[in-house]
Chain A
Amino acid sequence: MTVDPYPDYMRESINKVEKTRDKRAKETIDQCSPDEITDVLNNFHPDFIKEQKTKLRFGVSKGEVVPLEVAKIVETKSVLNPKAIDLKKIDFDTDILIVGGGGAGANAALWALKSGVKPENILIVTKLRMGDSNTTMAQGGIQAAVRSVDSPAIHYLDAYGGGHYENDPPLVKRLVRDAPLVLKWYEELGMMFDKFDDGTMDAIHGGGTSRKRMHFAKDFTGAEIMKTLRDEVFNNNIKVLEFSPAIELIKDENGQVAGAVLLNLDSKEYIVVRAKATILTTGGFGRLHIQGFPTTNHYGATFDGCIMGYRAGAPLKLMKSVQYHPTGAAFPEQIVGLLVTEKVRGKGAQVVNKNGEQFCFPLETRDVEASLLIRECVGKNNGIVTPTGQPGLWLDSPLIEVIHGEGTIEKNFAAMVKQFGRFGVDMIQDPILIYPTLHYQNGGLAINENAETKIKNLYAAGEVHGGAHGSNRLMGNSLLGISVFGRAAGISAAKKVGKVTLGKLTLAHVGQYNALCDEHKVKNPPSPIIFPDYTEAKHKDRILPTDFLI
């Protein structure tokens, strides 16, 4: 007999969940009214805790409200000593430099290529391997208003209202308008979206959608997109430097961005890249663990792109806003924080408290849903606390098969069944314990609809940018975002590079930023950090400097 992964007191609560299941299957709870939304956000969303925010004290976005963890990593000197770098020796001279090997970076490269740039004039650099990214981890789907009952205009309204009207309207327009175009291209590349026999792509709701427009490839949507895009990058001989993170942007004497300094993680040498266009596609900041939350994010999500861009003078926006995904795994301990896709609720699973009661509409927008869950646990004490102290609520996954029949979970959630199964939890038989987890950086570098930042020759696409999603991104608009703005960046950079003339290269802006840090007496450790540090403090005091080995 297999061992029950749940301790007795959790099993007792599961028994209550099972008892109410049939009754709940027919029960629907109303969505929150606009007033209720304001109330629960103000009282329970982590973004509304004033003590967790501060204003940037210097730089181009001085006064911007940011989480404390962001201030700590932005208001600090560079890991790079600009005086130690010889910019006269250029290691790579390219038209387009793409910093980040995820979905946005691959899109930018492939669309630059389609727009006439030769593959040898495109360089992708990444801190790990090509494709190692949050794109790969995105499970639920990609939004595109395709069905006849839907339209890009309805998609616009969902995204704009869902983002609390703080989105940049031209960016939202580009996002929703280009959505069918990118989905078509993906189909042509041979991605295997879930389809009916007549070719119609399956589509479901996400939180905050008024039409079913989430298209998906089982619960491997991002992986399917990334695997295919990477295959195309390799097919087209686009040059990729792996294990070579960018650590600062290079500018020229005229203030334009002109490439980047990279770090070779093996030899620890720096690499100078001169480029006529630099596209930042470095993703977000999940691994900064804002307010101590666990995260769904990739190991490399450490905010590097925003930091480099900011030091070069590109403004940040909407940094006050952080997305907590309502359903991160809360048990077992080994997978705390990992994503349980919204699609599980899209297919009918309800969120249930320790007494087996449903207490909210399961598909509110993410910020509202997360706040309702936190209220149920922290405000009303109706959550379950795991043996390691992690609070959580039940996501009643077995309900999916009550509604849709046996086999639905395995067919739709193969990745997740496996993920929980590895640690002894069977989500087909038992509900799973969930709690909000740090998921997405809603804000970031400001861009226009062509993915251009305020600084000449510098572009940004994907999670590194802020604006398209306002202060709350809808499910399925991130895979869409990396697609639309990665593509936009590739196309607009390709158009511009012929007209770019670069002057003498300089890192003066890094020196100037460091001087500002001195002026403000900052004592934070230097950045970017490239990787999070999960080693225990006891090791730190014992580390010897090893420069002599290099």
Chain B
Amino acid sequence: MVTEIKHELVKIIVANTEYAVPSNLTIMKALEYLGWRLDRGVGCRAGFCGACSTIYRLQGDHKLYTGLACATMVENGMLIAQIPISPANKKQYNIEALKAEPNTMLEYYPEIAKCISCNTCTKACPMDIEVMDYVQAALRGDITQAALLSFDCIMCGLCATRCPAEISQFNVGILARRLYGRYIAPKYKQLDKRVKEVEKGIYDAEIDKMIKAEKKQITKLYNARVREKD
């Protein structure tokens, strides 16, 4: 069943130099194909970490595109540059001392008031997040909405790179999510109860008994477990 697949070559331009690479490669794999052993702009290689933010243009097209090098396929005439680190505005706070109030977001990131609703951040997002909408939610003081809309953020910084109002959207997002998670989402009461039980040591004796048990005994116990229904 194995068939030799010959992929056509496409022309990419990296560091203003033209190279031919197979068309089935991601930008990241194309760089390795060129002989580069990466130590920048590389991370999880699976679209989760935001280390490989990349900007590019296509031949004959005036637009500036954004993407993750690990998840974007090369295209013919692609002019590529990577942004391995995003210089962003990150405010420091003590989460325990914050209040989830309508003006909290604005207090820490007043620049969100400068948002001109151009939607460039949303267009730049490789995770297809409605970035402008969560910035607007933060501006309105709707922490819940800002948290929920920004949840998938991988903090790659491409939004911040493109923002004409110089907002560091991804840091606004994490503040909203932490406020939501700590102060707005309902608490898991059974978890409090279990923590107290553990701290009192009420499970220790049962576990210690298993630790001391003979292999035969513990094997019997394990094999006799009944799986809770799905």
Q: Is B107 in the interface zone, CB < 8 Å from A?
A: no
Q: Which residue of A lies closest to B208 (CB)?
A: A173
Question: B101 contacts the other chain (Cβ, under 8 Å)?
Answer: no
Q: Is the CB of A212 within 8 A of B225?
A: no
Residues A418 and B151 in contact in the complex (CB < 8 Å), given A129-B51, A184-B191, A235-B92: no
Check A419/B71 contact, CB under 8 A, given A152-B198, A189-B178: yes
Interface residues on B, range: 35 or more
- A407 beta carbon closer than 8 Å to chain B: no
- Let me know if B99 is at the binding interface, CB within 8 A: no
- Would you call B16 an interface residue if the criterion is a C-beta within 8 Å of the partner chain's C-beta atoms? no
A183 and B26 CA atoms in complex are apart in Å by 37
Interface presence of A48 (CB below 8 A): no
Q: Are B228 and A228 in contact (CB under 8 A)?
A: no
Query: When chains A and B are docked, how far (Å) is the Cα of A333 from the Cα of B179?
Result: 40
A387 neighbours in B (Cβ, 8 Å):
1-3, 5
Residue from the list B47, B71, B128, B180 in contact with A192, Cβ < 8 A: B180
A180 contacts B147, CB within 8 Å? no
Taking residues whose C-beta sits less than 8 angstroms from the other chain, chain A's interface range is 35 or more
Q: How far is A418 from B46 in the complex, measured between Cα atoms in Å? A: 11
Task: Pick the residue among A136, A161, A195, A265 that contacts B39 (CB under 8 A).
Answer: A265
Q: Mark A202-218, 1 if CB is under 8 A from B, else 0.
A: 00110001111000011
Binary flags per residue of A476-515, CB closer than 8 Å to B gives 1, else 0: 0000000000000000000000000000000000000000
A137 with B181: CB separation less than 8 A: no
CB proximity to A under 8 Å, residues B187-230: 187-192, 194-195, 198-199, 203-204, 206-208, 210-211, 215, 218-219, 221-223, 225-228, 230
Partner-contacting stretch, out of B29-37, B134-142, B158-166: B29-37
Residue of A at shortest CB range from B7?
A333
Say whether A414 contacts B152, CB under 8 Å. Answer: yes
Q: Are B181's CB and A189's CB within 8 A?
A: yes
Please, how many angstroms separate the alpha-carbon atoms of A204 and B225 in the complex? 17
B174, B210, B226: the one contacting A160 at CB < 8 Å is B210
Task: Give the nearest-CB partner of A346 in chain B.
Answer: B230
The reply on B77 being an interface residue by CB < 8 A is no
How close is B35's CB to chain A, nearest CB, in angstroms? 4
For the complex, is A68 an interface residue (Cβ under 8 Å from B)?
no
Could you pull out 11 A-B pairs where Cβ atoms are within 8 angstroms? A132-B49, A132-B51, A137-B44, A157-B218, A161-B222, A178-B198, A187-B187, A190-B181, A222-B48, A338-B45, A414-B152
- The residues of B with any CB-CB pair to A shorter than 8 Å are 1-3, 5, 24-26, 29, 32-33, 35-40, 42-49, 51, 71-73, 85, 90, 92-96, 127-128, 147, 151-155, 174, 177-183, 185-192, 194-195, 198-199, 203-204, 206-208, 210-211, 215, 218-219, 221-223, 225-228, 230
The interface of chain A, by Cβ under 8 A from chain B, is: 9, 31, 34, 128-129, 131-134, 136-137, 145-149, 151-154, 156-158, 160-161, 165, 169-170, 173, 176-178, 180-181, 183-184, 187-193, 195, 197-201, 204-205, 209-212, 217-218, 220, 222-223, 227-228, 231-232, 234-235, 237, 243, 265, 296, 298-300, 333-335, 338-339, 348, 385, 387-389, 414-415, 418-419, 422-423, 530-531, 533-536, 539
Q: What 3 A-B pairs have minimum CB-CB distances, sorted nearest first?
A: A161-B222, A199-B186, A190-B178
